Structure 1
Amino acid sequence: MPALVLLGAQWGDEGKGKATDLLGGSVDYVVRYQGGNNAGHTVVVGDQKYALHLLPSGILSPGCTPVIGNGVVVDPSVLFSELNGLNDRGVDTSKLLISGNAHIITPYNVTVDKVTERFLGKRKIGTTGRGIGPTYADKINRVGIRIQDLYDESILTQKVEAALDGKNQLLTKVFNRRAIEVGQVVEELLGYADRLKPYVADTVLVLNQALEQDKVVLFEGGQGTLLDIDHGTYPFVTSSNPTAGGACTGAGVGPTKISRVIGILKAYTTRVGSGPFPTELFDEDGDALRRIGGERGVTTGRDRRCGWFDAVIARYATRVNGLTDFFLTKLDILTGWEQIPVCVAYEIDGRRVEELPYSQTDFHHAKPVYEYLPGWSEDITKAKSFSDLPKNAQDYVKALEEMSGAPISAIGVGPGRDETIEINSFL
């Protein structure tokens, strides 16, 4: 079965765009199956750097059809901004397909997201303020607006009215904001209909037919495993399922059709936003990882919190996703450290714990238990094979592989498309 899932195995920002782009020339379809423009991928092609937020990374591969699945929430203004930016740089975006069942991020979803987060104060979740959570809430509450609704003005108006009945009460009586007018929202959304129409398709049918024809389909998750609404560090999570199971529901493809699940691991750990982070560094090492690694959110522009590699969460990601392989990124950033700590377990109330605790309280109190591996000083960015790496770098990779529970099949040694060591082919 030529269907692969590629997802983040930490808190996101692991370098999924680089991994997807590496495979993009060999696959026929690349599918985003969840999230929205709260995700961010940086892809470097030659001397060109592309920052993608909503579009699948495969849009940069000429022979690939990029697909936005039904599980994604779409802000049309962001979508068109990205498309315009790529078109201006000579990238062909005409093959893009968007599910008619994907939900639209409306202006009132963005407003509710921002005012709610401000209202929470110190208890805020750390959202991007882009309306993602409120849109998914509308979807679950069955008052969401889908892309197909743009082509029936009567249905669209009824749905917007239903959604604003409650939201205007909240905005005016709780947050002391002005009510949002139904007509204004409907007019804005209808303004996107004509330009969206060439892209809209029954993507569930398209993808299943492609698999029946032995086409290669890559499902690309946004965010990461520890931000999954069900399996992440709740409540400091996203509002969808970036884990492997989300690919089935977010694209409409059955689990028996998926042959490989690839987890992206950074050679250290980062996260953006609030929430527990056992290996987080507040010292010079943390500053150095942030500076050398360029750790600033593609979408948010916020500095990422940085820490050493956490094997506990890597093992957890292997388990909940059924990972068959890892792609280890940013190994080059660790060059220059005499010793590199790796978190192999947690200490919680005097107990050594080697698996991720299910209790939120325990995870908040978890302290990392480190093993120290010898570092290397040699430049590894020109390495083309595993044997080209210094012995200590090889040993570091082997140790992470053993601790994480799945083979490392590729290693990123630089940001460029060609700065990758392939140990085993993903296809």
Structure 2
Amino acid sequence: MKTAQIIIGLGFGDEGKGITTDFLASQNLDSIVIRYSGGQQAAHTVLIDDKKHIHSSFCSGALRGLPSYFSEHCTIHPSLLLNEKEELEKLNGNITIYIHPLAKVTTPFDVISNRKNMKNLEHGTCGKGVGATMKRHESAYKLFAIDLISPKEMLLEKLKSIASYYGFEASEELNQLVDHFLYSVETLDWKICGYDYLKSFNHLIFEGSQGILLDMDHGVFPNVTFAHTTSKNAHEICDFLEIEDREMYYITRNYATRHGNGWMSDEQELKLQNNEHETCVYNDYQKELRFGRLDYKLLNYALILDGAYGKSSQKNIVITCLDQYLEKFEVEKLTIQFDALYGSYSPFSKDFKKLS
């Protein structure tokens, strides 16, 4: 019987989806990890002994040795994918990645537009072109993963039309970015395949992106991401694969965070400890990581909302960063009943504990 584990962030992202994916991967080494939303803007940190990798263009099972699969709901950036592949190779990670033919491709034009568009900067952006890519795909100027294995002349024509869509003219900086983009396309070993390929695995791990409170349909607009960050896409893929046994893992830190602009409940400075491995740090686009105490009404909102997207055979909750903030997690304030409660007491998945 085929089984699936679905990982969902309950907040604004940065909840601990990477460490949770690695924990599940360590228990299911014959699995494949599937990204079902988001793209190269993810920053999912995994530490194994003395090895550390931040997974963006690969799934968070790669350092553990599992292959990756990016669904049609994801974006990919060939240049960033090549850079991360080279980093993973040095760590002996698994650089095998399969990509759905309809995954959306980010170009250098999307990245520049993302970074120079004042509305994007005001609304919040990671500066990696994901939002611009998704917005462009609402127009006629599309570029899919399948186009990366088309004749080069056809790919070049599509890139020219995307440049004209943005109104870009040739420049030395832009030419260098496009040259590296094309070099990456030619260098990478593209494994483009549909969902039927996933039928060769008995166990699937679905790794979410961002968090439910940034969902394009349910977050506070305009400070949202261009993605369904609920379990919606994962359930649809499970339906296609006829997987009935679906186990949910809902993730939250022991405190609230938000990286980027937008509303946040009960924002305040917190005195944290043991957070030397924090990888969500200041950058020019999202600025500082923001903190607050947990809002249990928001957690219940996210949990009830996600339950509307599909049935599961088991529901679990994972509380990460319990070593950083010592306030007791009040599970009794949650209106959803869980089959298991897990806690994370360090940035290493080996320190996951089943609490009840």
Is the TM-score greater than 0.5? yes
* Aligned mate of 1:59, from 57, 62, 70: 62
Equivalent residue in structure 1 for 2:259, among 252, 269, 272: 272
1:258 deviation in Å? 5.7
Structure 2 residue matching 1:236: 3-state secondary structure: coil
Q: Is the 8 A contact 2:82 2:184 kept in 1?
A: no
More helix by percentage = 1
Q: Are residues 1:326 and 2:311 paired?
A: no
Q: Which of 200, 203, 213 does residue 210 from structure 1 map onto?
A: 200
**CA separation of 1:86/1:251 partners in 2, compared to 1, >3 Å: closer, same or farther?**
farther
Q: Corresponding residue for 1:387?
A: none
Q: Name the CA shift for 1:252/1:136 in 2 (closer, same or farther; >3 Å).
A: farther
Instruction: Give SS of 1:4's match.
Output: strand
Structure 1 residue 300: Cα displacement: 4.5
| Deviation at residue 229 of structure 1 after TM alignment | 0.7
Q: How does 1:177-326 map to 2 (within 5 A)?
A: 178=169, 188-196=180-188, 198-207=189-198, 209-210=199-200, 215-248=202-235, 253=240, 257=244, 259-281=246-268, 286-289=269-272, 292-294=274-276, 295-297=278-280, 300=283, 302-322=287-307, 324-326=315-317
In structure 1, the partner of 2:77 is 75
2: distance between equivalents of 1:264 and 1:40?
15
Query: What is the identity, as a one-letter code, of the residue corresponding to 1:210?
Result: S
**1:5 is paired with a residue of what secondary structure?**
strand
Residue 391 of structure 1: aligned partner: none
- The answer as to whether partners of 1:311 and 1:404 remain within 8 angstroms in 2 is no
Q: Distance between the aligned counterparts of 1:71 and 1:293, measured in 2?
A: 32
Residues 1:48 and 1:80: Cα distance change in structure 2 (over 3 Å) = same
Q: Identify the structure with bigger relative contact order (alpha carbons < 8 Å, sequence gap 6+).
A: 2
Q: Post-superposition shift, 1:200? A: 1.6
Note if contact 2:67-2:94 (Cα within 8 Å) is conserved in structure 1: no
Residue 414 (1) aligns with residue 352 (2): no
Identity of aligned residues (%): 26
Unaligned runs of 5+ in 1: 172-177, 341-395
Q: Give CA-to-partner distance per residue, 1:197-249, whole Å, 9 cap, x none.
A: x3423141111x236xxx11011011111111111222111111111002246
Partner residue, 1:152: 151
Question: What is the CA–CA distance in structure 2 between the aligned matches of 1:136 and 1:251, rounded to whole Å?
Answer: 23
Q: How many Å separate the matches in 1 of 2:349 and 2:187?
A: 32
Tell me, what secondary structure is at the counterpart of 1:218? Answer: strand
User: Deviations 1:241-280 (Å, cap 9, x if unpaired)?
Assistant: 1110022467984686461221111111001000111210
8 Å CA contact 1:314–1:404 kept in 2: the answer is: no
Query: 3-state SS of the aligned residue for 1:13?
Result: coil
- Mapped partners of 2:238, 2:103: distance in 1: 10
CA distance in 2, matches of 1:276, 1:199: 40
- Is the CA contact (8 Å cut-off) linking 1:39 and 1:299 kept in structure 2? no
C-alpha separation in 1, matches of 2:290 and 2:234: 28
Alpha-carbon distance, 1:409 to partner: 2.3
Structure 2 stretches lacking a partner, 5+ long? none
Alpha-carbon shift at residue 325 of structure 1 (Å): 1.7
Partner of 2:134: 136
Return 159-168 or 184-193, whichever deviates more: 184-193
Return the alpha-carbon distance in structure 2 between the equivalents of residues 415 and 186 of structure 1. 37
Change (3 A) 1:299 1:163: farther
Q: Which has the larger radius of gyration?
A: 1
SS of the equivalent of 1:85 reads helix
Please report the RMSD computed on the Cα atoms of aligned residues, expressed in angstroms: 2.8
TM-score, length-scaled by structure 1:
0.72
C-alpha offsets along residues 57-95 of structure 1, whole Å, 9 cap, x if unaligned? 111223x322122221111111111111111123242x3
Distance 1:329 1:184 in 2: 41
Shift of 1:320: 1.8
Name the residue aligned to 1:39.
42
Q: Which runs of 4+ in 1 moved over 3 A?
A: 178-190, 248-258, 291-296, 298-302
| In structure 2, distance between residues paired with 1:12 and 1:218 | 18
Look up the equivalent residue of 2:352 and give its one-letter code. T
**CA shift in 2, pair 1:160/1:288, >3 Å:** same
